[in-house]
Amino acid sequence: MRVVLTGGGTGGHIYPAASIGRQLKREDPDTELLYIGSSTGLESRIVPKLGIPFETIEISGFKRKLSLDNVRTVIRFLRAVRRSRALLRGFRPDVVVGTGGYVCGPVVYAAARLGIPTLIHEQNVDPGMANAFLSRYADTIAVSFPESKARFRRGRRIVHTGNPCATNVLHADKAKGYASLGIPEGSRIVLVVGGSRGARALNEVIPDIAGAVGRLDGVWLVAVTGDVHYEQTKERLNRLPAELSRRLRVVPYLDNMPEVLAASSLIISRAGASMIAEITALGVPSILVPSPNVTHNHQEANARSLADAGAAVMILERELAGQKLAGTIARIMGDEAVRRAMSEAAKSLAMPDSAERITAELRTLAAPKRGC
């Protein structure tokens, strides 16, 4: 089967697409993939490292207010559709998958116009602008949350599949996660990660929690700061006494995030949909600090669903303080019964076969091929 993947802008769109590609390759190593993204988006850095052939189109998002920029965006969209049609005709895919972000708009739209079967995947409860637009053209809409079904137009095929990142992380080798960080295998890791671009609010409290974690027996702190915040965070951590920073690892980015997640005993993060899927699939206790700067405040809803189930502790960003977070870490890491209960609660929310559900839909769409 030949499959085009598209989606970009943030890791929340890119990693689900990559997870679908990995699952297709697991099921059939002869599967041929092509990823279409933007040359300026995060996908241009991530996807080539995954070994997936990568092509680009140029596109930008619409402003929410009327402006001359939106006129230029329409022109860029039409050009991107023409470029997408050329790429699709050259590759001749059996099916096209879009996972959100502005870049997938012209690709999925062009595929629909060429008669190529299409599937879009929505990670959050409330659809993003790209998927809301594409829902009228896609053959199948896959959703991570059952509540999302009501947010799309009736008359389309809508299936609850979960987030494919859940399946991908279950195949991760935790031993490689330990080795990549130079941490003894079997150690307990507290992982702090603010998403693909980092989170200033989390980075600002890392020095406070580093001291607290340094006092816990056999516990390591791994902080993933994001490129923008790395140097400043590293400088602040260098001021810590050596005895409190001996079990500390600080990196700007991780190419092997699934392996490190699998090795972690506690995860402190934002509450993006892909991270939620990975946390629940692995059954790892978490402390979630939802971003207040996302559309419809969907991260708070994500975090609350885990907190209400007993799988996570939610701390709103306006209430985040180093001492409070350090105390919460100590309470969870210092009580095995608490950690076990949170782990079981997280697993109860998981959909570990999400990627398989999506690839099954793709195979149904691709047979028989409608061609281009």
Q: First CA to last CA across the chain, in angstroms?
A: 15
In the prediction, which pLDDT does 47 show?
96
Mean pLDDT of 332-358: 96
Mean pLDDT of 216-242: 88
Of 65-69, 169-173, 237-241, 271-275, the one with minimum mean pLDDT is: 65-69
- DSSP per-residue codes, 296-310: GGHHHHHHHHHHHTT
Angle 163-83-92 (CA atoms, 0-180°, nearest 5)? 65
Structure tokens at 281: 């699939």
In the prediction, which pLDDT does 241 show?
79
In the prediction, which pLDDT does 301 show?
86
* Domain extents in the chain: 2-163+352-366, 170-348
In the prediction, which pLDDT does 238 show?
82
pLDDT level of residue 338 (50, 70, 90 thresholds): very high
Res 64 pLDDT > 70 = no
Of 296-305, 314-323, 325-334, 340-349, the one with minimum mean pLDDT is: 296-305
65-79, 202-216, 288-302, 340-354: range with highest mean pLDDT: 340-354
In the prediction, which pLDDT does 63 show?
52
Pick out the residues of the known binding site for UDP-N-acetyl-alpha-D-glucosamine. Answer: 10-12, 124, 196, 299
pLDDT tens per residue, range 347-357: 999 999 999 99
- The pTM (predicted TM-score) of the whole model is 0.83
Beta strands in 42-109 (DSSP E): 54-57, 95-98
Domain topology for 2-163+352-366: Rossmann fold (3.40.50)
Cis omega (within 30 of 0) for bond into 252: no
- The burial class, CB within 10 Å (0-12 / 13-18 / 19+), for 177 is buried
Res 68 pLDDT > 70 = no
Question: What are the strands of the beta sheet with 219-224, ordered from one edge?
Answer: 248-251, 219-224, 188-193, 266-269, 286-288, 312-314
Mean pLDDT of 225-254: 85
Res 360 pLDDT > 90 = yes
Res 196 pLDDT > 70 = no
**Domain 170-348 sits in which CATH superfamily?**
Glycogen Phosphorylase B; (3.40.50.2000)
Pick out the residues of the known binding site. Answer: 10-12, 124, 196, 299
Task: Please state, in angstroms and rounded to a whole number, the distance separating the CA atoms of residues 124 and 343.
Answer: 23
Q: What is the mean pLDDT of the chain?
A: 91
Question: The tokens 């920073």 sit on which residue?
Answer: 245
Do 2-163+352-366 and 170-348 share a fold?
Answer: yes
